[in-house]
Amino acid sequence: MQFLASLIDGLLLGFVYGLAAMGLTLIWGVMSVINLAHGAVMALGMFGTYLMFTYLGVNPYLALLGVAGLGLLLGFLMYTVAVHRIINAPHLSSLLATFAVNLIIVGVGTAVFTTSPHNVDFSMGSLSLGRIILPPTRLLAALAAVGFTAALYLFLCFTRPGKAIRAVANNRTAAELMGIPSAQVLALSFGLGTMLAMVAGGLIATFFPFTILSGGPYELKSFVICVLGGLGQPLGALVGGLILGGLEGLIPIFMPVSWVPVVEFGLFVLVLLIRPNGLLGAK
């Protein structure tokens, strides 16, 4: 029974991990930029939910809508200031540019919020499924992650801007020849990726304490998930998130919890050696 409870708990967390990695893989898939500010942006999402809940009294799950809007605007700003000028430059340039944004966010965040832990003090009791007890916050976070994933899928498949994003991701030059404004599409893509990262951070804040530095470990997990599912594959990010979440739920049953990152990054290396394109990645 403990095995099943731990597996379910890990899978619920895996949905949130998948949402976070989806933002990272969307940006890579459209513009081939690895966003090293991903973790810092997630931390901003945590503080966005915290501030709205603590000072405005907004339900943390309703606060996600505000966090999503702020994430979209922040993504536009980051793209305009730091990414647009180096979009066609070597990968090292984009790595340095986004890493600089990461340092700015962490520096300003440390000055404003310090590095003391914060938490969203929002309890919903416990939910019993037979002999299995689950925290409702995990279940709601998983449902919210699924909702945002479904919304992204519908947007990319059935709206004109979404189809433009897919066209630019497939062949930017051909899309421009067809009259698609690639600069605007790239800005929108970066905004959406940033939005997903902030929403995932906001969800994580509902059940874990956090600081402005808390995004770093989740950024590393997002890289593992992206490689596992296949870079540039949003659906692969969700599948990879579920696998990683399931492992995090089960590993502490058989070995000390300190072995969790060892197994995760061991899996990372293993996938790179055996199937570097990931589970759903293109050849």
Q: How confident is the model over 200-224, as pLDDT tens digits?
A: 999 999 989 999 999 999 999 999 9
**What is the distance between the alpha carbons of residues 211 and 129, in angstroms, rounded to a whole number?**
33
Residue 53 clears pLDDT 70, i.e. is over it: yes
What is the structure's pLDDT at 282?
56
What is the structure's pLDDT at 260?
87
Query: pLDDT band at 25, cuts 50/70/90?
Result: very high
- What confidence tens digit (pLDDT) does each residue in 238-258 have? 889 999 999 988 888 888 888
Residue 283 clears pLDDT 60, i.e. is over it: no
Query: 């990414």: which residue's tokens?
Result: 83
- What confidence tens digit (pLDDT) does each residue in 58-70 have? 999 999 999 999 9
**What is the distance between the alpha carbons of residues 252 and 255, in angstroms, rounded to a whole number?**
5
Rounded CA Rg of the chain: 18
Q: pTM (2 decimals)?
A: 0.93
| 8 A C-beta contact, residue 127 and residue 136 | yes
